Amino acid sequence: MYKIAVIGDRDSVLGFKALGLDVFFTEMDEDARTTLHRLAQQEYAIIYLVEELYEPLHAEIAKYKDFATPAIILIPGKSGSLGLAEAALQSAVERAVGADIS
Amino acid sequence: MTGKTINPTRMELTRLKGRLKTAVRGHKLLKDKRDEMMKQFLDIVRRNRVLRRKVEEGIARSNAALTVAAAIMGPEMLEQALLYPKAGVELDVSYRNIMSVNVPVYDFHTTNDDPAELFPYGFAQTSGELDAALEQINEVFHDMLELAEVEKSMQLLAQEIEKTRRRVNALEYVMIPETERNIRYISMKLDENERGNTTRLMKVKDMVLQDAHRYRK
């Protein structure tokens, strides 16, 4: 049985707690990094991560990209979408096709 | 020729021809695999875009409602209200095979099916905006799960396509041309030997004939 985690600052992810997801509040990048690693070792199949944390954690995220679990999915934080997910999509397309096609 | 020397023998030639055949067949198969994966991949990318937009809009809406709720109730009360959720989510992960890439399929069920259980607080002390926010989040959650599935599939497929593409290119631009060059080299060398042998035989024959008939006194 797998679980779902949400990592982010308090205001952005509080609502997910009501759904029964495991919510982890992290204000600092270092916190988020250790939390992410810890969760990846455990039985979390999906980890939702607010976009604000993508920049400091992108090396860690890239590490888990090629494994089947966990899936690390970016969600917009309280300040709205930063367009990072779209950029990640674009880079995946580039990786597959070998060229920028858009 | 390139790199190491090869023996211009008939056995080596047969071996190389067999290898070329295998390489060509492998190249064709991998190319087909790559094309099919690319087709699937682009479908997934398209679906990912749609879902991503839906999820981002849904989360933005619920965040807006939550902000209003926090403003009305105060952040401490809000947090208290949400602190102990009644609903729980469990997730089953199975795998689907797309062109020999295992992509996850998520199947979730809540431990509590009563829709009223979404709200883990009494209605007396909380504002209506909070209810609205939670409803929004609940709505978008299905799309969030699907998004996770699609996005992970996309990442895994991208990786596999990259690998296959490299293999196809290695076969097409390195392995096959090199083998062909080696085959040509060996057959030319063998032909040359054959010609050398023929002339030598002719020469010997002349010499033997000359000897036998004592043309030269």
Cα angle value B113/B119/B122 (rounded, 5°) = 130
What is the C-alpha to C-alpha distance for residues B131 and B118, in angstroms, rounded to an integer?
A: 9
Q: Is the pLDDT of residue B114 over 70?
A: no
**pLDDT given for residue B2 in this prediction:** 54
What are the helix (H) ranges across A23-74? 29-41, 54-64
**pLDDT given for residue B191 in this prediction:** 95
B125: its two tokens? 């002390």
How far lies B158's CA from each of B31, B37, B55, B163, in Å? Answer: 15, 9, 22, 9
Cβ distance B51 to B148 under 8 Å? no
Which domains, and CATH codes, for chain A? 3-97 (3.40.50.10580)
Among B residues 93-152, those touching chain A with beta carbons less than 8 Å apart: 93, 95, 102-104, 106, 108, 110-112, 118-120, 133-134, 137-138, 141, 144-145, 147-149, 151-152
* pTM, 2 dp: 0.81
Contact A81/B49, CB-based, under 8 Å? no
ipTM for the assembly? 0.86
Choose the closest CB to B82 out of A12, A17, A95: A17
Encode pLDDT of B132-154 as tens digits.
Answer: 788 888 888 888 888 999 999 99
**pLDDT given for residue A99 in this prediction:** 67
The answer, for B176 touching chain A at a CB cutoff of 8 Å, is no
Which domains, and CATH codes, for chain B? 25-169 (1.10.287.3240)
Nearest partner of A51 among A91, A83, A93, judged by Cα:
A83
Question: Using 50, 70 and 90 to split pLDDT, how confident is the model at B188?
Answer: very high
Q: Is A46 in a helix, a strand, or coil? A: strand
